[in-house]
Amino acid sequence: MLIGLGAVALSPARTAVAADEPNLRASIDNLTPTVVSPGDTITMTGTLTNRDDHVWKNVQAYLVIPTAPFTTRAQVDEVLGSGQPYTGRRIIDINTIGALGDLEAGQTVPFTIKVPYPLLGLTGAEGVYPVGVQFLGTDVDGTRSTDAIARATTFLPLVDDVGKRTVETGLVWPFLSPVKRGGDGHYDDVDSFLQVIGPDGRLGRLLDLAASMPATATTILIDPALVQAADDVAQGRRLDEAPTPEQIAVAAGFRDDLLTLARATSSWVLDHDRPDLLAISRDTHATRLVGAVDATTDREVQALDIPGRHVSWPAGDVDRKTLELMRRDTGRSAVLASDSLPGWDRRDGSIVRVPVKGGDMPTFVADELTAGVPGSRTVATVRQGLLAEAALAVLQQGIDDGSHADALVLVPTGWDPGPTWSAADLPGVLDVGWVAPSTPAAQLDSELPAYDGSIREPADDLGLHPTQVDAVTQLLSRTAVLADVVVDRDTYAATADRDAADLLGVRWRADPAASLAISRDRVGTTDTMLADISIEGPNRVTLSSSQGRFPLTIRNGAEAPVRVGIQLDSSNPALKLPAVTPIEVAAGERRTVTVEIDVGNQSSATVTARLVSPEGDTFGLPTVFNVRSSAVGAVLWVAIGLAGLFVAVTLVRRFRGRRGASSAALPESVDD
């Protein structure tokens, strides 16, 4: 039975904040002890930020906690979905109230609350107590409502002796790429990227925090696109300008530290840039599209020596077709949100087998306890959420010997641990007696329970828009032709695959216009390069017989050597023209080839010459010309020959006749 639902709800009552409602942000930065027991004094510290444009006066902080705990995960889920604004009852003893004074607009102030165990009023029952802080303050008009102007919530377990029972506990740390490439292939806003991965950036802090955890409870989920981007900056590739030594040091340091941690712990390798597998699976060219993603991922894994098992992680809901696409090779695992598997029960544990056409797929079910809880997410709230997950699991084991419940938790994407992350002592969660460090990878190859429930069907409009996917398909088609033409085929094939894979990431859902513009820019660049490779022919060809030759010139204006052939077609289907096998043409070079032709009995025909890749794809503008035969036939040539002979004989005879006449004796003259 759910205990105290009306008193212990966790979530804000409204999903949107009205313009006249308070706009303050609260965070819990630490909570001690992490597991409560009689005799303890609860100490909570944190900050409150005034994001309003006016002052809040006489602000006070109150600890809030219910008298009875949650004892099952189902109770927590029900309360989180209820939409009620209260965490429990306020502790109003004067000695426990934190006085913050006046908060100016934009000001952030710390708070500390200390409450001895007897003042908490707890029943002492085992379970997980939601504990939080609520703030009251006086508005600029002098009103002071009893409604909280800000709140934050976390969890406080109370667990007695559980014997030898332990719960497998660990964190999965996602490292996703935050940087994009523009239409020219260069990275956008490199400075911001380096700031994010630097020591004081979000991913830099996340990496340090993950490294502080024992390897036995750590799984690194790596997006190869992130490692590749760091390596590109460190090597000075795909940048508008050469990196500075400081930038090189930041990029190389993050790359090396991330790979070092991945090799020292359990690690998973995501598909490049976390592609939108739902949108891809709906496209008729899904096999070709996912092939580009896989080829890019494999190249990056090999080139950068990224360790780990391949895993697909779609965003949001999936359908059966998506699951089949995800299981495109037998060694692949999946990460799915619990919402996608409505029949999943935490009793089965975080790792289950999901039936897919062709076999079952080992799947890690991501189900964060603290999702939807008010207040900023901090290392302390992540720590307490993990402990609460483990506490509920060990309590379930006490009443259910067949329970596989665990506390394997995926850290939220986009989370910044903040500059004071070390103060919360996250590794301390493993010091609790009923917590056993573990990783999902340790269970993937074991006997897993099967998920026999339904798959939640996604909304029709979820995923990349079809026009975005179509644009990537067109890009892949054009770049594939160029990759086939250039002599350095492997390099350009890799470029073609990555250009496509870059634009299939789930993050492009929020920016379709930009992805379409980049796709078109890259198609335009590719077409320009292909247009620089052209063929030239004569205006017309006149043969002196039925057979002959004519020249065709291939001009390579591109910046790389190419290998192209020529395809010849005739307007007269009876005329057969041999294709010209591919030849290599250096950058900036012109090569002329001679084509043999036999028109047979045809007097003329229109010939079209096209460039063709070694794989048989034509491209570029054709050259069209007319071929005409001036042949008169063998009989005519014989007649002409005989006529010539006759003329020659006649001339000879006439010449000889004249000579005879001139050499005859002249008559003697008669003298008078």
Three-class SS state of 580: strand
In which band, very low, low, confident or very high, does the pLDDT at 634 lie, cut at 50, 70 and 90?
very low
Mean pLDDT (whole number) for 488-496:
90
Range of lowest pLDDT (64-68, 307-311, 501-505, 654-658)? 654-658
pLDDT at 21: 87
Residue 31, domain extent: 5-158
Report the alpha-carbon distance of residue 84 to residue 211 in Å, rounded.
Answer: 37
Same domain, 105 and 214: no
Q: Are 403 and 444 in contact (CB under 8 A)?
A: no
Range of lowest pLDDT (16-25, 127-136, 210-219, 280-289)? 16-25
pLDDT for residue 105 is more than 50: yes
Range of lowest pLDDT (13-17, 71-75, 330-334)? 13-17
Residue 196: C-alpha distances to residues 204, 248, 252, 271 (Å): 7, 14, 14, 21
Query: pLDDT digits over 460-482, tens only?
Result: 889 999 999 999 999 999 888 89
Structure tokens at 544: 């002196």
Q: Are 101 and 59 in contact (CB under 8 A)?
A: yes
pLDDT for residue 4 is more than 50: no
Structure tokens at 640: 């002409």
Same domain, 251 and 379: yes
In which band, very low, low, confident or very high, does the pLDDT at 358 lie, cut at 50, 70 and 90?
confident
In which band, very low, low, confident or very high, does the pLDDT at 669 lie, cut at 50, 70 and 90?
very low
pLDDT at 368: 77
Query: pLDDT digits over 201-256, tens only?
Result: 999 999 999 999 999 999 999 999 999 999 999 999 999 999 999 999 999 999 99
Handedness of CA 193, 194, 198, 200 (dihedral sign): negative
- Angle among Cα 245, 248, 253 to the nearest 5 degrees reads 125
Query: pLDDT digits over 293-317, tens only?
Result: 999 999 999 999 999 999 999 988 8
Instruction: Fill in the DSSP letter of residue 143.
Output: -
Percent above pLDDT 70 for the chain: 89
- Angle among Cα 291, 367, 157 to the nearest 5 degrees reads 155
Residue 586 lies in a domain: yes
Query: pLDDT digits over 244-281, tens only?
Result: 999 999 999 999 999 999 999 999 999 999 999 999 99
- Angle among Cα 168, 170, 171 to the nearest 5 degrees reads 155
Torsion of CA 277, 279, 284, 289, to 10 degrees: -50
One-letter amino acid at 39 equals: G
Residue 392 lies in a domain: yes
Same domain, 547 and 506: no
Same domain, 304 and 318: yes
Helices then strands, counting H and E runs in the chain, come out as 16, 25
Q: Are 155 and 128 in contact (CB under 8 A)?
A: yes
Residue 655: C-alpha distances to residues 6, 143, 441, 643, 650 (Å): 137, 139, 111, 18, 8
**Helix H or strand E segment including 426:** none
Whose tokens are 């380096």? That residue is 194
Same domain, 412 and 550: no
Handedness of CA 479, 485, 488, 489 (dihedral sign): positive
Mean pLDDT (whole number) for 542-565:
88
Report the alpha-carbon distance of residue 356 to residue 325 in Å, rounded.
Answer: 10
Residue predicted with more confidence, 660 or 211: 211
Return all residues near 654 (Cβ < 8 A) that are at least 6 apart.
Answer: none
Structure tokens at 394: 């060990």
Return all residues near 228 (Cβ < 8 A) that are at least 6 apart.
Answer: 300, 304
One-letter amino acid at 117 equals: Y
Structure tokens at 563: 């290998």
Mean pLDDT (whole number) for 45-61:
96
Identify the CATH number of the domain in which residue 73 sits. Answer: 2.60.40.10
- Angle among Cα 524, 296, 443 to the nearest 5 degrees reads 150
Mean pLDDT (whole number) for 316-322:
88
pLDDT at 667: 43
- CA 586 from centroid of its chain's CA atoms: 36
Q: Are 278 and 318 in contact (CB under 8 A)?
A: yes
Got the DSSP string for 427-479?
Answer: GGGGGSTTEEE--THHHHTS--PBP-S--PPPPTT-SS-HHHHHHHHHHHHHH
Residue predicted with more confidence, 361 or 80: 361
Report the alpha-carbon distance of residue 447 to residue 443 in Å, rounded.
Answer: 8
Residue predicted with more confidence, 164 or 239: 239
In which band, very low, low, confident or very high, does the pLDDT at 626 lie, cut at 50, 70 and 90?
confident
Same domain, 440 and 483: no
Residue 643 lies in a domain: no
Report the alpha-carbon distance of residue 528 to residue 533 in Å, rounded.
Answer: 9
3-state SS track over 506-530? HHHHHCHHHHHHHHHHHHHHHHHHH
Report the alpha-carbon distance of residue 39 to residue 394 in Å, rounded.
Answer: 23
pLDDT for residue 5 is more than 50: no
pLDDT at 191: 97
Q: Are 43 and 119 in contact (CB under 8 A)?
A: no
Structure tokens at 365: 């079910």
Structure tokens at 450: 């099967």
Identify the CATH number of the domain in which residue 250 sits. Answer: 3.20.110.10
Structure tokens at 661: 């006449």
Rg, the chain, Cα only: 40
pLDDT at 369: 75
In which band, very low, low, confident or very high, does the pLDDT at 16 lie, cut at 50, 70 and 90?
very low
pLDDT at 12: 46
Mean pLDDT (whole number) for 59-73:
94
Residue 665 lies in a domain: no
Task: Give the number of domains in the chain.
Answer: 4
Same domain, 151 and 233: no
pLDDT at 507: 94
Three-class SS state of 653: helix
Neighbour tally for 427: CB within 10 Å: 16
Same domain, 552 and 590: yes
In which band, very low, low, confident or very high, does the pLDDT at 19 lie, cut at 50, 70 and 90?
very low
- Helix 379-399 and helix 73-80: axis angle, to 10°? 130
Whose tokens are 């339904």? That residue is 454
pLDDT at 372: 73
Identify the CATH number of the domain in which residue 611 sits. Answer: 2.60.40.1710
Report the alpha-carbon distance of residue 5 to residue 336 in Å, rounded.
Answer: 29
Report the alpha-carbon distance of residue 88 to residue 84 in Å, rounded.
Answer: 11
Which of residues 476, 499, 530 is at a domain's end?
530
Residue 642 lies in a domain: no
Report the alpha-carbon distance of residue 170 to residue 351 in Å, rounded.
Answer: 13
Residue 489 lies in a domain: yes
Report the alpha-carbon distance of residue 446 to residue 333 in Å, rounded.
Answer: 13
Same domain, 146 and 60: yes
- Do the strands 547-556 and 618-629 form a parallel or antiparallel pair, or are they unpaired? unpaired
Same domain, 537 and 582: yes
pLDDT for residue 659 is more than 70: no
Same domain, 333 and 393: yes
Report the alpha-carbon distance of residue 222 to residue 115 in Å, rounded.
Answer: 42
Q: Are 463 and 507 in contact (CB under 8 A)?
A: no
- Do the strands 150-158 and 108-116 form a parallel or antiparallel pair, or are they unpaired? unpaired
Mean pLDDT (whole number) for 642-650:
59
Residue 214 lies in a domain: yes
Which of residues 134, 158, 182 is at a domain's end?
158
Which of residues 158, 185, 210 is at a domain's end?
158
Average predicted confidence (pLDDT) for the chain: 88
Return all residues near 416 (Cβ < 8 A) that are at least 6 apart.
Answer: 202, 205, 206
Residue 22 lies in a domain: yes
Phi, psi of 373 (to 5 degrees): -75, 135
Same domain, 234 and 356: yes
Phi, psi of 179 (to 5 degrees): -110, 145
pLDDT at 11: 44
